[in-house]
Amino acid sequence: MSATGETTDYERIGGAPAVSAVVNRFYEAVLADPALAPYFTGVEMSGLRRHQVLLISQVLGGPAEYDGRELADAHAGHNITDEAFDKVVAHLVTTLKDAGVDDDIIGRVGQVVVGLRADIVTSTA
Measuring CA to CA, which residue among 122, 58, 53 is closest to residue 85? 122
The Cα–Cα gap between 18 and 26 comes to 12
Tens of pLDDT, residues 7-36: 999 999 999 999 999 999 999 999 999 999
Number of domains into which the chain is organized:
1
81-115 pLDDT tens trace = 999 999 999 999 999 999 999 999 999 999 999 99
Burial string for 19-40 (b: 16+ CB within 10 Å, else e) reads: bbebbebbbebbeebeebeebe
Q: Is residue 14 assigned to a domain?
A: yes
Domain-located, residue 2: no
Quote the distance between the C-alpha of residue 19 and its chain's center.
10
Q: What residue numbers bound the domain in which 32 lies?
A: 9-120
